[in-house]
Structure 1
Amino acid sequence: MSEKASVLQGFKAFLMRGNVVDLAVAVVIGAAFTNIVNSVVKGVINPLIGAIGTKNLDSYHSCIKGPCTGSGDAATGVRILWGSVLGATLTFVITAAVVYFLMVLPMSKYLAKMEARRKAKEGTQEVMEITELEVLKEIRDALVAQRGSGHGER
């Protein structure tokens, strides 16, 4: 029974570590964020591209062999569906840009400020330590000088 309890304790410790919880939150937020990005691509980007062609990027293709007729499973010929690749690429670029500008960049700036504050605090502490050391040396020298002058009078 104690082995089972230690396994459960280990599992609890594993779950309570910060990086596991952070990873779980990131996965959930990422899944929700994917829906937003897909909506932006389908609702904004595709219609903008559709202004010069069709609204559905998946319909863009090139035929490399034979007559390309029909669509879906009934299609004949060999098609390269570069429209779907373009749509996926746009989705990726938009996702990467939003993640960078809304999450990575602000966090980097915040961490840089915190590091600068920490270094400034350490620098102040070092100056204080050096100043205290100098004061203690001066006190020591004054005591030595005082003791030395007192020895000559006895």
Structure 2
Amino acid sequence: MSRYEQASHVFWRCQYHIVWTPKYRFRILKGKLGSDVYRCIHVYSEQLGCKVVELNVQIDHVHLVVKVPPKLSISSLMGALKGKIALKLFSKYPHLRKNKMWGNHFWQRGYFVDSVGVNEEIIRRYVRHQQKVEKQEQAKLALE
């Protein structure tokens, strides 16, 4: 199997590590809401022609490693993901809209993005095990 994707006139391998957070980094992406975010990312990414390689939804941020076709910009991908997911969550969980702090925005304005190159396996492992590392760090802080 080739490491590259193919379209009519292009061979490509555009892979990115993206991290973003809910507004005020609220620790809200847990339980059913976190599962919905996870599922929505898969569904909306596929609709845009992207392939999710790794995904980890933490309670206060999201890590995504994704293959993005060259015809789609990262800002377009993030605008679509964050926008569609926010609309879905606000309609499914109306109590979120009632909190005036949200101001009709579920996600923080910015995001982190890095292209994945030679260190692909390291980044994929980091995303996969992020939750385990974070729990260990919190346990250490609790003991101190």
- Give me the TM-score of the superposition, normalised by structure 2: 0.30
Structure whose residues are more often helix by fraction: 1
Q: Which has the higher contact order (CA 8 A, sep 6+)?
A: 2
Structure whose residues are more often strand by fraction: 2
- Give me the TM-score of the superposition, normalised by structure 1: 0.28
